[in-house]
Structure 1
Amino acid sequence: MTTVLGSLLIILTLGAIVFYLACLGCTLYFFTQPDRALKSDDPPVSIMVPVCGLDTGAWENWSSLCQQDYPNYEVLFGVVDPKDPAVVVLEKLVATFPARSRLKVGLEPRGINHKDSTLSYLLEEAKNEVIIFVDSDIRVNKDYIRTVTAPLADPEVGMVTCAFVGHNPESLGGAIASYGRCIDFIPSLLLARILDGGLRCAVGATIATRKSTLTDYDGLHLNRIGSDYNIGKRAAAAGYRVELSRYILNSDTGKESLRDVFQRELRWARTIRFNRGAQYYTMIFCYGTIFSLPLLFLPGFHAQGIIICAIAWLIRYLQVLIALLLLNCPKLLRWLWIVPLRDFLSVLVWAMGAFGNSVYWRGRRLRVQGDGIISPWDRRGDEVTG
């Protein structure tokens, strides 16, 4: 039994070492390629921001969207609950930038996914063909619109999306979240882009597209979890190219707790499982640092364990440092000591994401079914239909 367990751990660790090296290579390749010359005539753009609650740095995030170095654009904010604390701040924002921004409040949900429901209202109000969906906790530079819309000048590009990190977390939970995005999510996304022959998902932090193109891949789905992931998959299936921008967004992670991070990442994990199917389980080869540790204590594997464990951790830290450097996250270096904790949390999230069909999202417990369809969940675990 010990021999079988030890051999299994060695296989998993060696597989993860290959994974770390592949992530390192994909990250280097993506961020060191010369920029493509993209010509755009700066078409009018509509930015849509669904808002629920008042995130840390909300004013700075939202005002950054209203101060773009771009000739013709509008920013539409939408809120479901008229009593949401964000409304007061948004009203002040609209008064400050009346020529750029508009606010819609009391948008009765049209489906279980309140975010996409709000976007559906804003989409009806948008004046322009080129549109950008933006998460409310994102802060951008003045060249944001021009950067993310430029690839749409190519008619074969149906969507542009951006990854995001928290560059300067203020808490352990925030640092854990930032490291997950920087050293795991983005490198894995780049690897999947190579293996799939192109990006087949999108990241909800930013999705730039056209109204007409959105219709071609069946628009917004109001009863689906991970709709951003799914809409990218549908765009690729419709024959469009989904571009990942090298523009890395700044997401203010604030002082979120480890519990908040865990619940969000478990929701993401189950979303990926419902969207990727059996491919989800191949992610077991992504956690070599954790799987290598028991080898140090298994009888008969001590010598091999020391060598394999050392190689796994050295390559992992090399991959981490390359990611932090290329994603321009120097302030995350002071949190290097949390990598073991980050990796332990990642394997725990993956294991729990491998089963179960419930998620927590904005204070609501939801049931997830085939292909990411969601419905409410009552205290007995039964579906609520009314």
Structure 2
Amino acid sequence: MTNIAPKSGLSWSVRAPACLLVLGVSAAWLLRHLVSPHAENLLFDAIAGVFAVAALLGIVYTLLASWLVGRFFARGASVPSRFPGVTVVKPLHGDEWQLAEHLDTFSRQDYPGPIQYLFGVHDATDPALKSVEALRARYPEATITVVADGRLYGPNRKIANLVNMLEHAEHDILCFADSDVRVSRDYLSQVVGALGEPGVGLVTTVYRGLCAPGFWSQVGAAMTDYHFLPGVITGVAIGRARPCFGQTIAMTRDTLTAIGGLEQFAHHLAEDHAMGEAVRRSGVKVAIPPMVVQHACVEDTFAKLFTHELRWSRTIRAADRSGHLGAVLMHPVPLALLAAMFSGGAAPMCLLACVALAARMLLVRNIDRATRSPTRGLFNLPLWDILQFVIYLASFCSSGVVWRGIRFSVDGNGMLSPAQEE
């Protein structure tokens, strides 16, 4: 399905939820004028009841997530018994916000084993290489390798970049990390420790948002921190989620060979999820240590934020359709507000909305406490939740995504193909 933006204004993906809202209001107006008052009340009460039940279930989920988040980060980290060589593999593209600072955190690791830093670009003139040269000057003793190779194997350019770099990897432990990620000094030690546990074939990490200056980037970080993060932890705890996050993935060369290499993922939208599933099929586990990395949120306008979050939501939908459908219960505040609206502002429904908001505030507090982060902008929580719900609804409106400025269609198996213009 095509998803082409007009030359001006927002794309159809951004406008679709607003259109649905207008249609819903119009339908409600018609019902009020074409249906008898008694039937109208019964219908609206029934709709309000459905939303109220969903909101109640969402509150239960939120309280459960509040507890599970604390339990997740209270676990002890695995301590490596040895410190083998690690190749940190980083695909780069463009001069991103604070790229040098992101890369620097990987160069200041408290890891006694040998580390190779392998950077890859498709174009030798890519401005991201300026940050690599600055890193080389700052750490002249570091082993830094740069690969500029334009070969492609499918529409997923990140996978192509990784495949081109692997020919130059020196060590058997491969740590793939996105360019917009920051890590703590013990990151490699924790990852290697987890990878050394019996039966573990891949290690991935959950992440929080690191916001660039600006209101909308702060909103994006809040969505990551207080919606995505607890959703993952809860899903893993109840056995519903099977995550693997491209922000950081570590595995051995033997595991990568056993699953058939990376080139097979060159047509996947959610290549990280596909990698995790391939590792699980090979008979080993995907481990998530009790640590958090930071992922840069740089969308400085509403349109950019909406497009980015919509792509991520559609990625989840492509990877796990039933799970994505069930994720409606992760939105108790919007669901309770809809219940209040359809009930005509009935006191029990308004109270339900207040309880839902209180549960969400408790979750925010517990996440920040567990990750030792300050809480900021809590008064914006209703906005965060409503916007996240609108993005969730929009993810069902189209199968198109925008990735690094290029539009793709996504089929039912999560495979990418270039979108055709109308």
TM, length-normalised to structure 1 = 0.92
2: CA distance, partners of 1:141 / 1:195: 28
2:235 matches 1:174:
no
Q: Residue 52 of structure 2 corresponds to which residue in structure 1?
A: 10
- How far is 1:119 from its partner? 0.7
Correspondences of 1:298-317 after superposition (within 5 Å): 298-299=342-343, 302-317=346-361
Correspondences of 1:243-262 after superposition (within 5 Å): 243-254=287-298, 256-262=300-306
Q: Is the 8 A contact 2:94 2:127 kept in 1?
A: yes
1: CA distance, partners of 2:383 / 2:345: 24
Q: Residue 345 of structure 1 corresponds to which residue in structure 2?
A: 387
Q: Residue 384 of structure 1 corresponds to which residue in structure 2?
A: none
- How far is 1:261 from its partner? 2.1
Q: Is the 8 A contact 2:91 2:179 kept in 1?
A: yes
1:74-95 CA deviation, whole Å, 9 max, x = no partner?
0100011233221233234334
* Structure possessing the higher relative contact order (Cα contacts under 8 Å, 6 or more residues apart): 2
Correspondences of 1:205-284 after superposition (within 5 Å): 205-220=247-262, 221-254=265-298, 256-284=300-328
RMSD (Å) for aligned C-alpha atoms: 1.9
Q: Is the 8 A contact 2:211 2:220 kept in 1?
A: no
Structure 2 gaps of 5+ residues are: 1-42
2: CA distance, partners of 1:374 / 1:162: 25
2:255 matches 1:193:
no
1:232-253 CA deviation, whole Å, 9 max, x = no partner?
2222233221111222112333
- How far is 1:334 from its partner? 2.5
Q: Residue 24 of structure 2 corresponds to which residue in structure 1?
A: none
Q: Taking every aligned residue pair, what percent have the same amino acid on both sides?
A: 27
2: CA distance, partners of 1:314 / 1:3: 24
1:361-381 CA deviation, whole Å, 9 max, x = no partner?
11110111132110112322x
Deviation >4 Å, runs of 4+? none
Q: Residue 357 of structure 1 corresponds to which residue in structure 2?
A: 399
- How far is 1:206 from its partner? 0.6
> Which residue type is aligned with residue 354 of structure 2?
A
Deviates more, 1:364-373 or 1:211-220: 211-220
> Which residue type is aligned with residue 128 of structure 1?
H
1: CA distance, partners of 2:420 / 2:136: 38
Q: Residue 82 of structure 1 corresponds to which residue in structure 2?
A: 124
Q: Is the 8 A contact 2:220 2:299 kept in 1?
A: no
Q: Is the 8 A contact 2:258 2:282 kept in 1?
A: yes
1: CA distance, partners of 2:371 / 2:211: 13
Q: Residue 417 of structure 2 corresponds to which residue in structure 1?
A: 375
2:181 matches 1:157:
no
Deviates more, 1:79-88 or 1:363-372: 79-88
- How far is 1:301 from its partner? 6.0
- How far is 1:168 from its partner? 5.5
Correspondences of 1:31-180 after superposition (within 5 Å): 31-33=73-75, 35-70=76-111, 71-98=113-140, 99-167=142-210, 169-180=212-223
The correspondence for 2:336, drawn from 292, 315, 319, is: 292
2: CA distance, partners of 1:224 / 1:295: 38
2: CA distance, partners of 1:339 / 1:312: 11
2:363 matches 1:334:
no
> Which residue type is aligned with residue 202 of structure 1?
C
- How far is 1:263 from its partner? 1.3
Q: Residue 323 of structure 1 corresponds to which residue in structure 2?
A: 367
Equivalent residues, number:
376
